[in-house]
């Protein structure tokens, strides 16, 4: 029974985390076994099961908790009283689809702790993104509670089940529950170690907007002998359209695209240079050698502070084995934009639509399907929690923690700002080779253990 | 029992064709039921079955016939003695793949005669290309034999099973069997009525060369947040490569592409203009309105006398439902060229390969797969058979038959010239809406009936 009259102690909490690691891994693996794929309606019952599992886990911590129904998957909300600042901890219990399944070495929802040459890992879909990361925080709470009793802050727990599928229920839920969810600061564990080795607090995120473009020429597939020449080929039209999106220096050509994009200061570039990022190694690790993108920009600068226009998928005509001399009726491409600064995602999607419509012959039809739009976010690092967290992370990892940017987008951080007026502190322990969104996802056991210990240290410093 | 002492009569043969049409359609449908898809190895036994079916059909005509094995699908060769010129009749018993299967209204290999607002049609894969067309000739032979006995020419029948998949066994077989196959003239029934209404003898064909290009960037699919910007995206690279193949006037940019392309004479253009081709109707029939291709060229001129570079298929990244923010590892495209005049297909494929390799970043790998290369062919219409056929067709169709060009490629005609020194006379009865190479292929019963009658009339005129 913890002695709640004595000052709360940090070291016993750290020891407790280390000593009870096997049980914590078991709990994580129970959550990993639930195939909570949000984008596929066939797994909706499993998403509900994962929500219920977290409700039970929160209640075991002493929190009031419930799974709130939505038009989509449930939102898990919990509340744990405590003396100190009121913070919200966010995570998501849904996971990415698993295709291509034949590239997994073991079933994605049969998690396992494995020995590798680089140490022990937890293997399974969601091991990193986001279940493993989410559980570092709950593990720290459980350990603090076991040793010290009440946490040194009041915690609102908020777990959604649609992050991998565009979060359609999120904005209405935030708007309807401002009081229940509002806090001084949000803590989010869904990012990675800087350069796979150094603790980092992410203070800016790129935004994201997506759209699918479908071009239709003839009303049926045509024989390329009988029609080749005078008949418009949607694949050729689409290639020209896509090729025209970037100039020869790698800049996006859409009118107004760079409105709201801040030019990074020399000081900021210098501080990023000082991080010692191994750009060649970063590219080499995935079989590349030459930085693509905008001429004259550093790799880190591009990832953290420059917007992109990318093509995530393209299809048209005959794509099977062998050859078919067809002029296809249709071709389509999925395009997404990573956004920075004050870029307006809706304006950019409108510019894309206008550009495509102006670029195609009059007898080629164009249809669009939007897939979400969220602006970039930049955090206000003046809140004392940021300094506290930086010191705590430096203690745990034995090196200075950095404030960094991020290439990815976590739209919820933007919505916390715009709807709840709340900044987010993004701290995570993932690694580049975790393979999130890919087959054979894993999470290092050391990331899990040191992650939980990092949160415990942050709790200690938040105590003031 | 035909009276073989009397002069051979034409009208009874025509009547016999009309009277026995139901039985002829039944025979055709038996051949259509065999799924002889040559490009897919799973259907190799069915290709052999189709070959055997034709051997039996030829033997029923009184011909000696056999299926000759090759490294691929068998070649059917038959011989029917007769008094008159020695001609070779060529056809192919293999058919195009059926995808997309979900667009067929009934199974592609369950043929049926159907009533439509435009008359009766034979529905099924291969109904036109090439089984229905091939059977017009055999039907004429069967009727002539029933009425008159021996045919007024000596016929070598030659059916291959790889026309839809690049004819890999054809050239070696022709080279190995020059004596068995050599004749004064080849007759080929694999083309269409001019403008869907007028009988035509095709006297020039475009050539064909195909190649698949695959680009590989990173050694795995990447997360577009974590890598978007500095990581090369093979879809973007491929789009630029493909877009660069044509300039803004529609000309192909490959160096040397137009070497050997004759400029059509004003006389030739005038004679084509005189055919009364409805270019707007041609495009409108497939849901288009604006001629694509080279600026300033007529539709017919482009189809018959201009070379093309087309993209028949493109694929890369995530192409399923919804969205996936992936930077794919690979992207690929299938490219084919229609050739005219003396264009050298091998030189053009080499120029394409050189262009692609010079256009990609050094860390993006390129692989190619060739899919056949055949030059264009132009026939020598001085052979008396051309005038005879023209008169015969004019009699059957009630209007002057034309010598025309063709947009498509029938490489065997070029090989007959280069290997056997033999010209080909291409006469066919297909229509634009037959949907060859597409779902719901059909062949008009009237094309089948009048086609068989046309051949009978040609036999009569060959008799001299």
pLDDT band per the 50, 70, 90 thresholds, residue A178 = very high
B77 three-state secondary structure: strand
Residues 6 or more apart whose Cβ sits within 8 Å of residue B243: A239, A240, A242, A243, A244
A450 vs A18: CA distance, rounded Å: 9
Interface of B with A in 250-269 (CB under 8 A): none
Residue A4 scores a pLDDT above 70: no
A148 three-state secondary structure: helix
pLDDT band per the 50, 70, 90 thresholds, residue A464 = low
What tokens were used for A46?
């499993």
β-bridge pairing A200-202 and A402-404: parallel
Alpha-carbon gap: B366 to the closest alpha carbon of chain A (Å): 14
Decide if B330 contacts B232 (C-beta within 8 A).
no
Q: Determine contact: B39 vs chain A, CB below 8 A.
A: yes
Among A408, A421, A431, A451, which Cα is nearest to A204's? A408
Cα nearest neighbour of B296 on chain A: A230
The CA R_g of chain A, rounded to the nearest whole Å, is: 24
Q: Determine contact: B116 vs chain A, CB below 8 A.
A: no
Nearest CB among B288, B318, B409 relative to A218 is that of B288
Q: Determine contact: A284 vs chain B, CB below 8 A.
A: no
Alpha-carbon gap: A249 to the closest alpha carbon of chain B (Å): 12
pLDDT digits (tens, 9 = 90+) for A359-415: 999 999 999 999 878 888 888 888 889 999 999 999 999 988 988 888 877 889 989
Q: Determine contact: A98 vs chain B, CB below 8 A.
A: no
User: Is A310–B40 a contact, with Cβ atoms under 8 angstroms apart?
Assistant: no
- Kindly list the distances between the CA atom of residue A27 and the CA atoms of A20, A31, A138, in Å, as whole numbers in the listed order: 11, 7, 10
Q: Which long-range contacts (CB under 8 A, 24 or more apart) does B42-45 make?
A: B44/B73
Among A275, A201, A204, A206, which Cα is nearest to A427's? A201
Decide if B206 contacts A225 (C-beta within 8 A).
yes
User: Is A318–B336 a contact, with Cβ atoms under 8 angstroms apart?
Assistant: no
Q: Determine contact: A52 vs chain B, CB below 8 A.
A: no
Q: How many CA atoms lie within 13 A of A436 on its CB side?
A: 27
Domains and CATH numbers, chain B: 11-205+376-462 (3.40.630.10), 207-261+307-374 (3.30.70.360)
Cα nearest neighbour of B211 on chain A: A323
Q: What angle do CA A137, A143, A145 make, to 5 degrees?
A: 100
Give the residues across from B67 on adjacent strands.
B76
Query: Which residues from A are below 8 Å from B331, CB to CB?
Result: 314
Query: Which residues from A are below 8 Å from B432, CB to CB?
Result: 226
What is the per-residue pLDDT for B52? 98
Instruction: Pick the more confident residue, A70 or B224.
Output: A70
Residue A19 scores a pLDDT above 70: yes
Nearest CB among A239, A362, A436 relative to B239 is that of A239
Classify each residue of B59-74 as buried b or exposed e, where b means 16 or more C-beta atoms within 10 Å of its C-beta. eebbbebbbeebebbb
In a mutational test of the B interface, the residue from A43, A213, A227, A441 whose CB has the highest number of chain B CBs within 10 Å is: A227
User: Is A236–B291 a contact, with Cβ atoms under 8 angstroms apart?
Assistant: no
Q: Would you give the DSSP letter of residue B37? A: B
User: Is A286–B361 a contact, with Cβ atoms under 8 angstroms apart?
Assistant: no
Does B100 sit behind a cis peptide bond, omega within 30 degrees of 0 on the bond before it?
yes
Number of H helices, E strands in chain A: 15, 19
Alpha-carbon gap: B311 to the closest alpha carbon of chain A (Å): 7
Residue B100 Ramachandran class (φ > 0 left, ψ -120 to 50 alpha, else beta): beta
What is the per-residue pLDDT for B61? 96
User: Is B166–A39 a contact, with Cβ atoms under 8 angstroms apart?
Assistant: no
B180 vs B194: CA distance, rounded Å: 33
Query: Which residues from B are below 8 Å from A324, CB to CB?
Result: 39, 96-97, 312-313, 334, 437
What is the per-residue pLDDT for A458? 97
- Count of CB pairs separated by less than 8 Å, A with B: 311
Cα nearest neighbour of A221 on chain B: B438
What is the per-residue pLDDT for A383? 87
Q: How many CA atoms lie within 13 A of A431 on its CB side?
A: 18
What is the per-residue pLDDT for B372? 78
B448 vs B428: CA distance, rounded Å: 10
Q: What angle do CA B294, B296, B299 make, to 5 degrees?
A: 70
Decide if A388 contacts A455 (C-beta within 8 A).
no
In a mutational test of the B interface, the residue from A99, A224, A253, A410 whose CB has the highest number of chain B CBs within 10 Å is: A224
What is the per-residue pLDDT for B400? 86
B9 vs B5: CA distance, rounded Å: 11
Q: Determine contact: A7 vs chain B, CB below 8 A.
A: no
User: Is B290–A363 a contact, with Cβ atoms under 8 angstroms apart?
Assistant: yes
Decide if A161 contacts A92 (C-beta within 8 A).
yes
Residue B64 — φ and ψ, nearest 5°? -80, 135
Nearest CB among B165, B318, B437 relative to A223 is that of B437
Q: Determine contact: A372 vs chain B, CB below 8 A.
A: yes
In a mutational test of the A interface, the residue from B222, B324, B328, B329 whose CB has the highest number of chain A CBs within 10 Å is: B324
Q: Determine contact: B408 vs chain A, CB below 8 A.
A: yes
What is the per-residue pLDDT for B225? 76
A388 vs A76: CA distance, rounded Å: 28
- Kindly list the distances between the CA atom of residue A58 and the CA atoms of A67, A73, A74, A170, in Å, as whole numbers in the listed order: 11, 18, 15, 21
DSSP A56-108: HHHHHTT-EEEEE--SSSPEEEEEE--SS-EEEEEEE--B----SGGG-SS-T
What would the mean pLDDT of A83-104 be, rounded to a whole number? Answer: 94
Q: Determine contact: B36 vs chain A, CB below 8 A.
A: no
Burial of B381: CB neighbours in 10 Å, binned 0-12, 13-18, 19+: middle
Alpha-carbon gap: A320 to the closest alpha carbon of chain B (Å): 9
Give the residues across from A155 on adjacent strands.
A80, A87
- Kindly list the distances between the CA atom of residue B186 and the CA atoms of B86, B174, B287, in Å, as whole numbers in the listed order: 9, 13, 36
A161 vs A39: CA distance, rounded Å: 10
Q: Chain centroid to CA B164: how far? A: 8
Cα pseudo-dihedral B336, B341, B345, B349, rounded to 10 = -60
Residues 6 or more apart whose Cβ sits within 8 Å of residue A253: A244, A245, A246, A247, A355
Alpha-carbon gap: B356 to the closest alpha carbon of chain A (Å): 15
Q: Determine contact: A368 vs chain B, CB below 8 A.
A: no
A43 vs A49: CA distance, rounded Å: 10
Estimate the crossing angle of helix B21-32 against helix B445-462, to 10 degrees: 110
Residues 6 or more apart whose Cβ sits within 8 Å of residue A26: none
Does B273 sit behind a cis peptide bond, omega within 30 degrees of 0 on the bond before it?
no
A128 three-state secondary structure: coil
Decide if A372 contacts A412 (C-beta within 8 A).
no
CA max distance for chain B: 88
Decide if A186 contacts A159 (C-beta within 8 A).
no
Host H or E run for residue A46? helix A44-60
The CA R_g of chain B, rounded to the nearest whole Å, is: 24
**Start-to-end C-alpha separation, chain B:** 24
Query: Which residues from B are below 8 Å from A437, CB to CB?
Result: 221, 223, 324-326
pLDDT band per the 50, 70, 90 thresholds, residue A3 = low
What is the per-residue pLDDT for A303? 85
Q: How many CA atoms lie within 13 A of A70 on its CB side?
A: 26
Query: Which residues from A are below 8 Å from B229, CB to CB?
Result: 292-294, 299, 302-303, 306, 308, 338, 407
B164 vs B320: CA distance, rounded Å: 29
What ipTM score was computed for the predicted complex, to two decimals?
A: 0.79
Q: How many CA atoms lie within 13 A of A141 on its CB side?
A: 23
Q: Determine contact: A336 vs chain B, CB below 8 A.
A: yes
Q: What does the H/E/C string look like for A336-362? A: EEEECCCCCHHHHHHHHHHHHHHHCCC
B428 vs B451: CA distance, rounded Å: 7
Nearest CB among A222, A291, A314 relative to B286 is that of A222
Neighbours of A154 (CB within 10 A): 18
- Kindly list the distances between the CA atom of residue A295 and the CA atoms of A299, A313, B233, in Å, as whole numbers in the listed order: 10, 24, 15
What would the mean pLDDT of A153-162 be, rounded to a whole number? Answer: 97
Interface of B with A in 145-204 (CB under 8 A): 165-166, 192
Residues in chain B where the model's pLDDT stays below 50: none
How many residues in chain B? 464
Alpha-carbon gap: B154 to the closest alpha carbon of chain A (Å): 32
Residue B157 — φ and ψ, nearest 5°? -95, 135
Decide if A407 contacts B228 (C-beta within 8 A).
yes
User: Is B243–A239 a contact, with Cβ atoms under 8 angstroms apart?
Assistant: yes
């Amino acid at each position: 029974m913890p002695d709640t009259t004595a000052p709360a102690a940090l070291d016993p909490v750290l020891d407790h985390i280390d000593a009870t690691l096997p049980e914590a891994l078991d709990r994580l693996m129970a959550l990993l076994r639930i195939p909570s794929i949000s984008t596929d309606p066939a797994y909706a019952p499993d998403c509900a099961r994962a929500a219920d599992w977290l409700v039970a886990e929160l209640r075991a911590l002493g929190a009031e908790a419930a799974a709130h129904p939505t038009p989509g998957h449930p939102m898990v909300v919990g509340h744990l009283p405590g003396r100190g600042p009121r913070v919200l901890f966010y995570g998501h219990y849904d996971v990415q689809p698993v295709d291509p399944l034949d590239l997994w070495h073991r079933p994605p929802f049969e998690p396992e702790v494995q020995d590798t040459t680089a140490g022990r890992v937890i293997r399974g879909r969601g091991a990193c993104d986001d279940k493993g990361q989410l559980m570092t925080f709950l593990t720290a709470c459980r350990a603090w509670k076991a040793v010290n009793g009440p946490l040194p802050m009041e915690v609102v727990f908020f777990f959604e089940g649609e992050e991998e599928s565009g979060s359609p229920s999120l904005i209405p839920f935030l708007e309807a529950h401002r009081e229940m969810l509002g806090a001084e600061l949000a803590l989010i564990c869904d990012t990675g170690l800087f350069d796979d080795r150094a603790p980092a607090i992410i203070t800016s995120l790129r935004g994201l907007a997506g759209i699918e473009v479908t071009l239709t020429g003839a009303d049926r597939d045509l024989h390329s002998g009988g029609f080749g020449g005078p008949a418009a080929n949607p694949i050729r039209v689409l290639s020209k359209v896509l090729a025209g999106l970037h100039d020869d220096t790698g800049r996006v050509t859409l009118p107004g695209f760079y409105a709201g994009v801040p030019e990074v200061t020399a000081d900021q570039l210098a501080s990023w240079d000082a991080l010692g990022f191994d750009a060649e190694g970063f590219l080499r690790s995935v079989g590349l050698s030459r930085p693509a993108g905008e001429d004259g920009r550093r790799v880190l600068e591009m990832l953290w502070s420059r917007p992109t226009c990318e093509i995530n998928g393209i299809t048209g005509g005959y794509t099977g084995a062998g050859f078919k001399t067809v002029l296809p009726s249709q071709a389509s491409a999925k395009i997404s934009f990573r956004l920075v600064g004050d870029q307006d995602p809706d304006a950019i999607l409108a510019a894309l639509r206008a550009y495509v419509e102006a670029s195609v012959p009059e007898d080629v039809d164009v249809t669009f399907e939007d897939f979400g739009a969220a602006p970039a976010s930049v955090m206000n690092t003046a809140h004392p929690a940021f300094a506290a967290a930086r010191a705590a992370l430096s203690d745990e990892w034995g090196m200075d923690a950095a404030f960094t940017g991020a290439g990815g987008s976590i739209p919820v951080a933007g919505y916390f700002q715009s709807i709840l007026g709340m900044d987010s502190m993004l701290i995570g322990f993932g690694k580049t080779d975790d393979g999130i969104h890919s087959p054979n996802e894993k999470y290092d056991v050391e990331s899990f253990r040191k992650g939980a210990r990092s949160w415990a240290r942050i709790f200690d410093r938040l105590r003031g």
